[in-house]
Amino acid sequence: MTAKPSARIYQGTLRNLRFLARKLQQGEIVAVPSETVYGLAGNALNARACRKIFTAKGRPSTDPLIVHIHSLRQLQDVAVINPAALLLAKKFWPGPLTLILPKREVVPDTVTAGLPSVAVRMPSDPLFRRLLKLCGLPLAAPSANPFGYVSPTTAAHVHHGLGLQIDHILDGGPTKIGLESTIVDLRQPAHPRLLRPGAISARELSRTLGVAVRPGLKGTGDSKQAQIAPGSLQRHYSPHARVVLHRRLSLRQAAKGDPADAWLFLQRPPGPARRHLYWFDVAGTAPAIARKLFAMLRQLDHAGYQRIHVELMPGTGLAEAINDRLRRAAAKG
């Protein structure tokens, strides 16, 4: 029996974009870049196409998909809009913000885990936007990786994880933000809830809406229960290695620890480089750490470490999103 060929990686030429748009219109799935992480896209109005996404990822049907749109007109097509949603859309779209709203009947239950709500966002990545415009469809797209594993931030990450499960990968280079979108629940617009932190903070959302955006319910940890938003499970974004979290790491602590462990600092520690010591960024800035977070976890996982010791990041805003991903990566399954 002939083995399935590995996925092809496409550069973002107009010819390739038109080809991939046709594939999406025909019900196939395509891995795509975004400003957050790479996604695995399919026609959001085609239940069969969306089931291919779940199959390729090994994703439970209880974990809904985010629907990506090119224009506000498409938002009206897939969701019931309220004034709060329009305020946030006009302020932050295109960008890394996902809105939870009541869904239109045209959206299949496959996309929404059988719930009457839908997650929608308008991405800012230029290649993804060109593809959305060319295919003329809203595209459902969770992260393009095996379910629960570290999210992909390059086309190579997608190829490594799903290269034998899918056929098409659009290469847009490394992602600009590196963390999944902020998710806010606007089903009750007078009481907005933050379901997942991201690059857009609760403070920014509250300032725009004129009402406090409060934290929503934590993930249940039960993959058999339908989730309101993707990425809600307590354990997610996880390498195979065990992730151990610390408020602070020190060179002394690393020197006394198991020499077979990896020690991952927010910024470069003083002194010469040493084995098993790693860092996200020379200066330890939040945007740089966010961009490198998943790539570093993958790198150390592939290096064969059994444990990865990581510092949590002090502060609010983007630091909260970074810590959210680290805590989910460290949670016990």
Look up residue 49 and give its two tokens: 């196409």
Specify the pLDDT at position 224. 73
Closest CA relative to residue 32, chosen from 164, 179, 152: 152
Residue 290 to residue 151: CA distance in whole angstroms: 12
Q: What is the tens place of the pLDDT at every residue in 117-156? A: 999 999 999 999 999 999 999 999 999 999 999 999 999 9
Q: Evaluate whether 123 touches 143 at the Cβ level (below 8 Å).
A: no
How are strands ordered across the β-sheet holding 8-10? 8-10, 168-170, 30-32, 39-43, 139-140, 66-68, 117-121, 97-102, 182-185, 193-196, 214-215
Cα separation, 231 vs 241, whole angstroms? 20
Q: What are phi and psi of 227, to 5 degrees?
A: -100, 145
pTM summary value: 0.95
What tokens were used for 166? Answer: 């899918």
Q: What is the mean pLDDT of the chain?
A: 94
Q: Which of the pair, 270 or 312, is modelled with greater confidence? A: 312
Average pLDDT over residues 171-193: 97
b/e sequence 1-38, b meaning 16+ C-beta within 10 Å: eeeeeebeebebeeebbeebbebbeeebbbbbbbbbbb
In the block, residue with structure tokens 């997610």: 236
Is pLDDT above 70 for 217? no
Percent of the chain with pLDDT over 90: 87
Helix-strand-coil percent breakdown of the chain, rounded to 5?
Answer: 30, 20, 50
Q: Report the SS3 class of residue 60.
A: coil
Q: What pLDDT does 222 receive? A: 58
Q: Which range among 76-85, 191-200, 234-243, 287-296 shows the weakest confidence by mean pLDDT?
A: 234-243
d(C-alpha 160, C-alpha 170), whole Å: 14
Determine the longest span between alpha carbons in the chain, in angstroms.
62
In tens, the pLDDT along 169-181 reads 999 999 999 999 9
Alpha carbons 182 and 233: distance in angstroms, whole number: 15
Structural domains of the chain, ranges and CATH numbers in brackets: 8-215 (3.90.870.10), 242-330 (no CATH)
From CA 177, how far away is CA 190, in angstroms rounded?
Answer: 29
Cα–Cα distance measured from residue 229 to residue 39, given in angstroms and rounded to the nearest whole number: 16
